Amino acid sequence: MYLHRRYCLYEARIKKYRSPRILHFATHGFFLKDQERDPNKEKRGQGAMGAMDFAKSGGMVRLSGLDLENPLLRSGLALAGVNTWLKGQNPPPDAEDGLLTAEDVTGLDLLDTELVVLSACETGLGEVRTGEGVFGLRRSFVLVGADTLVMSLWKVPDHQTQELMEEFYSRILAGEPRAKALKNPQMSIKVQTHPHPFFWGAFICQGDPSPLQSG
């Protein structure tokens, strides 16, 4: 199953899927760093982070009113309907708030999912907690059963990412191991067109590196 924003990638619909073989998100990702708590703002009922901006390849999006003490609420994916919700308007019911957070991901059923691709910015980031590892999207997708996760460590350029993903899937469908299917086109972009790692190095492969199962 291949999911993309152009097909009305609504949050409620994603939550209903049960272990698609391949789950692909091509949208905007976000990771919001924790901030020091302001006791004065808390007394006024504004919480630790009353409002914040995060820059994405569509401009600045405003988030407000979220309790971001939980690190799993500070990373996620922006889906269809999020801009409507952030403007204070009412998106379609299936869109919910349009933000699929790492906490939301912990409720998905991906026990038989072989590959999850997060083709978005900063999807591999998270908060490190001593003795507990990194909290973020990567942890959530692994906990719910995804065999392999492809994700990014920084903001990625659109054109080169599209080029990389097209070649990645061509190799995956041809039976190439998952890790090599990502690494080989990355090296091609490096050697042939863009030597700087910014253009090809953001994506990493975590989990089972072998080919997808046939069938």
Q: Determine, yes or no, domain membership for 49.
A: no
pLDDT value at 1 more than 60: no
Two tokens at 189? 């972009």
- Tell me the C-alpha distance between 138 and 184, whole Å: 22
Two tokens at 102? 């790492």
Q: Determine, yes or no, domain membership for 36.
A: no
- Tell me the C-alpha distance between 19 and 111, whole Å: 6
Percent of the chain with pLDDT over 90: 34
Residue 40 pLDDT: 53
pLDDT value at 176 more than 50: yes
Q: Which residues contact 120 (CB under 8 A, 6 or more apart)?
A: 25, 26, 27, 28, 29, 77, 152, 156
Give the range of the structural domain holding residue 129, as residue numbers without chain letter. 5-30+72-85+93-207
Q: Determine, yes or no, domain membership for 58.
A: no
Two tokens at 23? 């789950």
Vertex 174: Cα angle to 29 and 5 (nearest 5): 25
- Tell me the C-alpha distance between 113 and 105, whole Å: 13
**Tens-digit pLDDT profile for residues 82-131:** 777 777 778 778 878 888 888 899 999 999 999 999 886 655 444 544 33
- Counting the structural domains of the chain, the total is 1
**Tens-digit pLDDT profile for residues 69-83:** 666 777 788 887 777
- Tell me the C-alpha distance between 98 and 78, whole Å: 6
Vertex 168: Cα angle to 208 and 179 (nearest 5): 25
Q: Determine, yes or no, domain membership for 37.
A: no
**Secondary structure of 36-51 in the HEC alphabet?**
CCCHHHHHCCCCCCCE
Q: Determine, yes or no, domain membership for 61.
A: no
Q: Determine, yes or no, domain membership for 43.
A: no
DSSP state of 177: -
Residue 126 pLDDT: 47
Q: Determine, yes or no, domain membership for 77.
A: yes
Average pLDDT over residues 48-59: 31
**Secondary structure of 87-142 in the HEC alphabet?**
CCCCCCHHHCCCEEEHHHHCCCECCCCCEEEEECCCCCCEEEECCCEEEEHHHHHH
Q: What is the CATH number of the domain that holds 167?
A: 3.40.50.1460
**Tens-digit pLDDT profile for residues 4-16:** 334 457 788 888 8
- Tell me the C-alpha distance between 11 and 79, whole Å: 7
Residue 135 pLDDT: 54
